[in-house]
Amino acid sequence: MKKALVTIIILLTISGTVIAFRIKLPNQKITDVQIIHELPFNIEPFNPVPEVRTWDEDGRTFYYFNWGIKPTGGYSLNFVELKDDLIVIQALNPPEKRMVIQIFTYPRLILSLPQGTYKYRVIDQNKKIIKDFFKPTNPPLQFTLFLPQGDGIGTRQILRDPYENTAGKTTAEIALEALMVQTEVYELLEHEVTVEGVSFSNSDGKWVVLLSKSYESLDLSQQELLAELITKTVLTIKAKGLDRVEITTDPNALPQLE
């Protein structure tokens, strides 16, 4: 019997009904690993922080491996094999003396596997094991962003390095800056809208979010949706534990805050 033969299909006809039996041959293992190219909604397209995430869905187990932000192209994560419950992936750096695209890239790999519990191993181009490969340099900040999803609003968990491009910024400012660059929000806005400042007023007991003047150029439905996304996102930051957010384009509003 040829080694390529994995299963035998037996068909029986009873009263006009075809019944199929799939028999697994001894010592044969069916490996069903799929590489997912389309990002699910819960994954940030441009995630700058190394991360491994796993979840179960529709009887499958998914693993998301993210290498973080890289200065050029040429970096990649590649699936090598599945050994029992061990996922082996290879991390490749840009080839030496070869031209690569000069933009930031975010190498990642998403796998769909038979539902179960797995371990993983990362090897380099020389097949040497790399330990703590997905461990961030600093413990990351974690935020929940609220984003347009279909006809409603969904959530996305994201990470940010507390020391990378965050000097002098509050956690609310970092979260909202991340919100504004998400693909779903970027596509929503016809005009560039930026977060100019976020502060908390003790006397009024509310957050105040200062947006650029281009916010006023949005139509009413866009303003309302963006205001809802901003409000929900800010209120997941439990620094003050209050539930009021005011959105303004008046720069004079921030100096009045405490």
**SS3 at position 62:** strand
Structural domains of the chain in order of their starting residue, each with its CATH number:
34-123 (no CATH), 141-256 (3.30.300)
Q: Nearest CA to 80 among 129, 24, 117?
A: 129
Higher-confidence residue of 62 and 5: namely 62
C-alpha to C-alpha distance for 184 and 178, rounded to whole angstroms = 12
Q: Nearest CA to 169 among 181, 180, 161?
A: 161
Tokens 């600093």 belong to which residue? 138
- The reported pTM is 0.81
Q: What is the pLDDT of residues 181-225, one digit of tens each?
A: 999 998 877 678 999 988 887 777 788 999 999 999 999 999 999
Q: What is the pLDDT of residues 138-172, one digit of tens each?
A: 999 999 999 999 989 999 999 999 998 777 788 88
C-alpha to C-alpha distance for 107 and 89, rounded to whole angstroms = 13
